[in-house]
Amino acid sequence: MPARLSQPEFGLLNGYRVVMIGLSVAAPFAGELFAEHGAEVIWIENPKAIDSSRVARRSGAWQQDRRNMRSLSLDYVHGAGREVFARLIETADVLVEASVGGRFAKIGYSDQTLWELNPGLVIAHISGFGQTGDPSYVSRASYDPIAQAFGCVMRMNGLPGQPSAPAMPFPADYAAGMFAFGMANAALLKRQQTGRGESLDIAQFELMMRLQANYPTDYYRYGLDYTKEGNRSRICALYGTYTAADGEELYVLVLGAGVVPKVLALLDLDYGSELFPTGSTFVPVDTVAAQVLEASFAEFLSVHTAAEVEEILAGAGIPCSRLMDYEAARTHPQYVARQVITEWLATDGQTRIPGVKVVPEVAGYPGQVWRGAPTVGMDNDEILADLGISAQLRDELYAAGQLTRREYFETTGG
Spatial separation of the C-alpha atoms in residues 146 and 157, rounded to whole Å: 14
Cα(413)–Cα(408) distance, integer angstroms: 9
The H-or-E segment that residue 221 falls in is: helix 215-222
- Active-site residue, 173 included: yes
Question: Would you say 260 and 281 are in contact if contact means Cβ atoms under 8 Å apart?
Answer: yes
Evaluate the CA torsion angle 215, 218, 223, 229 in order and state its sign. negative
The one-letter amino acid code at 2 reads: P
The residue type at 347: T
Measured torsion, CA atoms of residues 195, 178, 147, 52, in degrees rounded to the nearest 10: -100
CA distance 206 to 22: 19
354 DSSP β-pair partners: 343
Residues contacting residue 335 through CB under 8 Å, at least 6 positions apart:
329, 341
Half-sphere exposure of 396 (CA within 13 A, CB side): 10
Judge whether 50 and 414 are in contact, CB under 8 Å: no
The pair phi, psi for residue 260, each rounded to 5°, is -55, -50
Sheet holding 94-98, edge to edge: 70-73, 40-45, 17-21, 94-98, 122-127, 198-203
Q: What is the dihedral of CA 192, 27, 6, 342, to 10 degrees?
A: -110
Backbone angles phi, psi at 381, to 5 degrees: -65, -40
Q: Name the 3-class secondary structure at 206.
A: helix
Considering 173, 325, 348, 379, which one is annotated as catalytic?
173
Phi, psi of 30, deg, nearest 5 = -60, -45
Peptide bond into 360 cis (omega under 30): yes
Question: Which residues does the annotation mark as catalytic?
Answer: 173
